[in-house]
Every structure is written in structure tokens, then in C-alpha cells.
Amino acid sequence: MPRPKGFDPTEVLDAAVGTFWRKGYAATSAQDLVDGTGLGRGSLYNTFSGKRQLFSEALRRYEETSAIRVEEMLAAPGTIRARIRRVLMDVVDDELDSSGAHRGCLAVNAALELGGIDDEVTARVRHNFERVENAFHAEFAAARQQGEIGPERDPRALARFTVAAMYGLRVLGKTADRQALTQVVETTIQAL
């Protein structure tokens, strides 16, 4: 009979997300993961079989939490432009939080570090981006149907444009100030 694990795998994944988010994949050591998750090496590797699988699972967990956050903001009342502004300003606020961490987005960080090099990470990040794009697409399609945006506007193209702006804010947030980031948000909203 197998022994119970004695820990919550979701809590471990959340801790691993934080560790990878702060340090990146390559710079995160096994000891960093032990320290970050509170698990011993044996438990960590018995559960996830290694750093590589743990990183993949951490990206999956990050997608769950980050995409749900976007989906919830898009489901709130308001015009399409107001809801998109809320999502983008949430990114600005997150990037400029008082901790000064400027972590960006774990998916974007993973794309920059391993995208195109590691097929599994590339696929996981692509899935993350597509989920957010699909959420935007659904809202733009509904807005077009309700006459909130013109019938000539392509909801898929608008969704991709908005995703590019959102993840661009994540990258710019590592160095830019609030005024610059807010200008990107307002220009994006005007372009919709």
C-alpha cells in the first residue's frame, strides 16, 4: 500500500512557480526548489521526477491561475474597451507593485528563455497564450455581435493584437515607468 504524500501538490506547485518566476529555469537549482517548496529532494523528485517536469507542471499551474484571472476580469460588467483596459491596467499594476520585483509573466519569461529551444516548454507557453487569446476573442466576437465594435473588425485579429500588447507590457514592465506603460494601454484601447 503506497504511503500518503503528506503534502499538497498544488501548494508545492505554487511554491515552485514562485521559485522559477524569480530565478528562471536555468538559474533555479535543485536546492532552490527544495528551499522554495519545503520538500526534501527525494519527495520532490519522487513526485515530479525532476526539475524539467516540475517546471512544466509549474507552467501549467501558472496558466491556470493567470488565465482565470484574465477570464474573470473579462466577464465583469462594462464595455469591451473598459474591460480590456482593466485587464491591461492590472498588468501595469502587477508589474509596478511595491515589491519592485518586476518579475514579468512566467509564460513570457519561459518563452524568452526556452521558447524555440525546448519543444515541451514552447508548446506549454503557446497553449497559455492561446487560452488568453481565446478569452479575448470571445469577448471581441460578442462585442461585434452587439454592435459595440464595427462589423468590419476581425475579433481574432483584435484578440491577437491585445495579447501582444498585454505580454509586451510584461516585458516593458521590467524597465519602464507607469507613465510609459499607461501610454501603451491607452494607445491599445484607442486602436480597438
Tens digits of residue pLDDT in 81-122: 999 999 999 999 998 886 656 677 899 999 999 998 999 999
Look at the pTM and tell me if it is higher than 0.75.
yes
pLDDT at 66 over 80: yes
| Residue found by looking up cell 509564460 in the block | 107
Question: What average pLDDT does the segment 158-180 reach?
Answer: 94
Assess contact for 4 and 52: CB atoms under 8 A.
Answer: no
Please report, as a single letter, which amino acid is at residue 145.
Q
Assess contact for 42 and 34: CB atoms under 8 A.
Answer: no
Assess contact for 72 and 34: CB atoms under 8 A.
Answer: no
How much is the pLDDT for 151?
A: 95
Give residue-wise pLDDT tens across range 110-155.
Answer: 999 999 899 999 999 999 999 999 999 999 999 999 999 999 999 9
Exposure letters 143-176 (e unless 16+ CB within 10 A, then b): bbeeeebeeeeebeebbebbbebbbebbebbeeb
How much is the pLDDT for 168?
A: 95
